[in-house]
Amino acid sequence: MKRILDACCGSRMFWFNKRNEDVCYMDIRQISETLSDGRKLEVDPDVLADFRNIPFEDNSFYLVVFDPPHLLRAGEGSWLAKKYGKLNENWKADIAQGFKECMRVLKPNGTLIFKWNEDQVKLSEVLKAIDFKPLFGNRRSKTHWLVFMKN
């Protein structure tokens, strides 16, 4: 069993080692596409699954990375929607369920790293929707990184 779960890996943009053997990369999508301008998008998870229903036992991982879609408005076939995914009208319930699932699969005292971009939804709205409080975090422009720990 791997020690780390990336619950919404997408194209693994922030990973220094995009094939880290300690990480189980999970996403609901699988995409391999080259756009007309030559950009290539690869979403190739180890596990094809929804972050709202993570297919692992309780207490499975020491670290979970949760970087869910953050866009409400993006064209269905747009580069942005393909690269980052897209929220639906039930986004608050989806994100709340995602947090519960991420915490469920964390080992006791495990760490959850949450990434959020405020381009269309403020972080304060997300924090109101979940039942967890961050320990600390960092912000660079519109992107926030928050750290949570499982009790």
Residue ranges of the chain whose pLDDT lies below 70 = 36
Q: What is the pLDDT of residue 54?
A: 98
- The string of pLDDT tens digits covering residues 54-83 is 999 999 999 999 999 999 988 877 888 888
Q: What is the pLDDT of residue 10?
A: 94
Q: What is the pLDDT of residue 98?
A: 98
What percent of the chain is helix, strand and coil (3-state, nearest 5)?
20, 30, 50
Give the integer Cα–Cα distance in Å for 32 and 110: 33
Q: What is the pLDDT of residue 47?
A: 98
Q: What is the pLDDT of residue 74?
A: 86
Q: What is the pLDDT of residue 82?
A: 82
The number of C-alpha atoms within 13 Å of 12 and in the hemisphere containing its C-beta is 19
**CATH code for the part of the protein at 4-149:** 3.40.50.150
- Per domain, the residue ranges of the chain are 4-149
Q: What is the pLDDT of residue 116?
A: 97
